[in-house]
Amino acid sequence: MDLTDLTIKQAHQGFKKKEFSARELALAYLKKIKQTDKDLNAYLSVAEESALSDAELADKKIASGNFSELTGIPCAIKDAILVEGQKCTAASKILKNYTAVYDATVTKKLKKEGSVILGKTNTDEFTMGASTENSAFGVVKNPHDKTRVAGGSSGGSAAAVAAKEACFSLGSDTGGSIRLPASFCGIVGLNPTYGSVSRYGLIAHASSLDQIGPMTKNVEDCKIVFNVIKGKDKKDATSVESEIQNSKFEIRNSRIGVPKEYFAEGLDKEVEKIIKNAIKKAEQAGAEIEEISLPNTKYCIACYYIIVPSEASSNLARFDGIKYGYSDQSQKTLMQVYYKSRGEGFGLEPKRRIMLGTHSLSFGYYDAYYKKAQEVRKLVKQDFTKAFEKIDLIFCPVAPFPAFKIGEKADNPLSMYLVDIYTCGVKLAGLPGLSLPAGNVGGLPVGLQIIGNHFEENKILAIAQELENVL
Amino acid sequence: MISKKEVEHIAKLARLELTENEIEKMQKDLSAILDYFDLLKSAPLPSKILQKQNLGGQAQNLRKDEAERCQLSDEIIGSAPDKKDDYIKVKAIL
């Protein structure tokens, strides 16, 4: 038996039956990382020593009989989420030598359960991108085809789970950064409702959209991890305690909306076939399928790429060469330290977003860009509100195509931005969405996106789990 | 096309030093992206009711404005590239 094949649930059963120890499971994953990650580049750092001491603690818990489903389960954390004592770089040169001085709330929650943290995963710099090609430390390769991207920005977290270099991982999603790599790598990825999970200790990209979420081998595992990390945290004022829904959700009692705008020009024919097949399977299982319209979809990318860089330009102002991170101390004046440290520390994409955001917020342009985008955001949100008056869930593609070639879009930022076409509207509206493996095109995985109303992750997860068995 | 001067102006506002190559690339990239944003001009205006609605609505979750002791001040100050005692040291301002 290869221990890295096991899901969270299966590994937990194994611990219960004393078939193997948490140390053995951790060692199996660490061995796998050594074997395959040189090639994939999913990890930016591996914390072998602390992982083994986590495992030792977990084994003690297991021996006591008082342990939970995540006790002893090896996981990987996106390198934009703080783990105390470990480097946290956000895949940026500006944070190359930064060591986290505290745990993110999600990290704290995983540690409390006794999870084993294997290391930190690669991402686009400051989570800005759709392919991890913007990482300052090299691109993540797709485990299904190493000439292709793993998707981004949580590409390292997705590839690590797909290549069995971690039992599960945490990613973060601002415009599609969990769902897109999950789709490209053939795993399950959940972007929770805005406010479901605390962002305390997540390096901020765009604060009105950022969410942390689980990336797992299957839906059952996704549910387990989500239930651990969610909830109100006094250190994140936007976090809320969602009500527990005890109702049973089944495909046969659900109304599923299919937005016509998501099946328009630009959608790969093979991807369309796979998504339509998944919708058909839901219909055969008794769901009511209804075509819906989200008429402001065409404005989503423009709206998103004004709001996000605006917030990012403000969030990234903290990297000034003074408080922490890279600093050019050879400069004579404070101003020169700012210019040099930021100029040398940031890569091209953060620079582009800082420039775009600064421009959108600047005198004379604010009304035309930022204010207009905020108005359009309300329209996008209203589209979804109206849709959810008559349906339970939305089914659509995660991306217009499967994983693309490394380098294919790297030199054209606008074409990279357009990859977010089916994922960023959800974020503008603050909704939850999940990517479920639904098939493949020539060996490249394709994800079905299941979108729910605010705080209805349970409904998404229940339907996804049922569908997982028939796809 | 956005001018070199405009790019330099924005970079200055953003406290960002750009190389000549980067300025040239920014001119090209920002122009293409800003042109794409023109799409929003055709977007309808939100209704009066919608305009008044708050997008977030999280203000009610704010905690009381009470000071709490932070246990991390030493570690946080310790992360600064240059410091003296408990102070972060900066270069000359003028």
A333 contact partners, CB below 8 Å, separation of at least 6: B91, B92, B93, B94
What CATH number does residue A160 fall under?
3.90.1300.10
Question: Given this model, what pLDDT does residue A57 score?
Answer: 98
The answer to whether residue A281 is catalytic is: no
Question: Given this model, what pLDDT does residue A333 score?
Answer: 94
Determine what percent of chain A is predicted with pLDDT higher than 70: 99
Domain contains B12: yes
A135 prior amide bond cis, ω within 30? no
What CATH number does residue B36 fall under?
1.10.20.60
Tokens of A287: 């769901």
Asked if A3 and A27 touch (Cβ cutoff 8 Å), the reply is no
Cβ separation B44–A354 shorter than 8 A: no
Side chain identity at residue B44, one-letter code: P
Among the listed residues A131, A135, A153, A435, the single catalytic one is A153
Answer yes or no: is pLDDT of A279 > 60. yes
Answer yes or no: is pLDDT of A271 > 80. yes
H-type alpha helices, A41-154: 48-64, 105-113
Question: Given this model, what pLDDT does residue B49 score?
Answer: 74
The answer to whether residue A153 is catalytic is: yes
Tokens of A83: 């783990």
> Which strand (E) or helix (H) includes residue A439?
strand A433-441
Residue with tokens 């490249």: A444
What values do phi and psi take at A375, rounded to 5?
-65, -45
DSSP conformation letters of A190-201 = EEPPTTSB--TT
Q: Which residues from chain A sit within 8 angstroms of residue B63, using beta carbons?
A: 234, 237
pLDDT digit string (tens) for B4-38? 999 999 999 999 999 999 999 999 999 999 999 99
Tokens of A309: 């860089």
Q: For chain B, what is the domain count?
A: 1
3-state class of A237 per DSSP?
coil
H-type alpha helices, A297-345: 300-315, 334-345
Domain contains B28: yes
- If you average pLDDT over residues A185-207, what whole number do you get? 97
Answer yes or no: is pLDDT of B57 > 60. no
Q: Does A269 touch chain B (CB under 8 A)?
A: no
Domain contains A186: yes
Q: DSSP class of residue A72?
A: T
Report angle CA A301, A81, A176 to the nearest 5 degrees: 20
- If you average pLDDT over residues A104-118, what whole number do you get? 98
Asked if A252 and A289 touch (Cβ cutoff 8 Å), the reply is no
Q: Does B23 touch chain A (CB under 8 A)?
A: no
Domain contains B34: yes
Question: Given this model, what pLDDT does residue A140 score?
Answer: 98
Asked if A191 and A424 touch (Cβ cutoff 8 Å), the reply is no
Q: Does B61 touch chain A (CB under 8 A)?
A: yes
- If you average pLDDT over residues A292-309, what whole number do you get? 97
Tokens of A9: 């649930």
Residue with tokens 């998404």: A460
pLDDT digit string (tens) for A130-184? 999 999 999 999 999 999 999 999 999 999 999 999 999 999 999 999 999 999 9
Asked if A466 and A250 touch (Cβ cutoff 8 Å), the reply is yes
> Which strand (E) or helix (H) includes residue A75?
strand A74-78
**Containing domain of residue A41, as a range?**
3-229
- If you average pLDDT over residues A241-270, what whole number do you get? 90
Band of residue B55 on the pLDDT scale cut at 50, 70, 90: low
Q: What is the mean pLDDT of chain A?
A: 97
Domain contains B68: no
What values do phi and psi take at A328, rounded to 5?
-90, 95
Q: How many CB atoms lie within 10 A of CB A205?
A: 28
Q: What is the mean pLDDT of chain B?
A: 88
Domain contains A391: no
Answer yes or no: is pLDDT of A100 > 90. yes
Q: Which residues from chain B sit within 8 angstroms of residue A355, using beta carbons?
A: 7, 10-11, 14, 16, 26, 30
Answer yes or no: is pLDDT of B60 > 70. no
Return the C-alpha torsion angle A38, A40, A42, A47, nearest 10.
Answer: -20
Domain contains A41: yes
CA A191/CA A433 separation, integer angstroms:
5
CB burial of residue A39 (10 Å; 0-12, 13-18, 19+): exposed
Return the C-alpha torsion angle A230, A231, A234, A237, nearest 10.
Answer: 80
Question: Given this model, what pLDDT does residue A265 score?
Answer: 86
Q: Which residues from chain A sit within 8 angstroms of residue B79, using beta carbons?
A: 98-99, 101, 323-324
Band of residue A64 on the pLDDT scale cut at 50, 70, 90: very high
Residue with tokens 């991108």: A129
Answer yes or no: is pLDDT of A344 > 80. yes
> Helix A300-315 and helix A348-361: axis angle, to 10°?
100
Domain contains B94: no
CA A391/CA A374 separation, integer angstroms:
26
CA B32 to chain A, closest CA, distance in angstroms equals 7
The answer to whether residue A177 is catalytic is: yes
Question: Given this model, what pLDDT does residue B59 score?
Answer: 54
Residue with tokens 């409390």: A112
Domain contains B8: yes
Report angle CA A284, A289, A295 to the nearest 5 degrees: 150
Asked if A419 and A130 touch (Cβ cutoff 8 Å), the reply is yes
Domain contains A70: yes
Asked if B92 and A332 touch (Cβ cutoff 8 Å), the reply is yes
Tokens of A64: 């006591």
**Containing domain of residue B31, as a range?**
1-45
Determine how β-strand A168-173 pairs with β-strand A74-78. Answer: parallel
Q: Does B50 touch chain A (CB under 8 A)?
A: yes
3-state class of A155 per DSSP?
helix
Neighbour order of strands in the sheet with A393-397: A43-46, A116-121, A74-78, A168-173, A211-216, A188-191, A433-441, A444-452, A393-397, A255-259, A288-292
What values do phi and psi take at B88, rounded to 5?
-85, 130
Cα-only R_g, chain A? 21
H-type alpha helices, A129-262: 155-162, 179-185, 219-229
Domain contains A369: no
Answer yes or no: is pLDDT of A270 > 70. yes
- If you average pLDDT over residues B57-74, what whole number do you get? 77
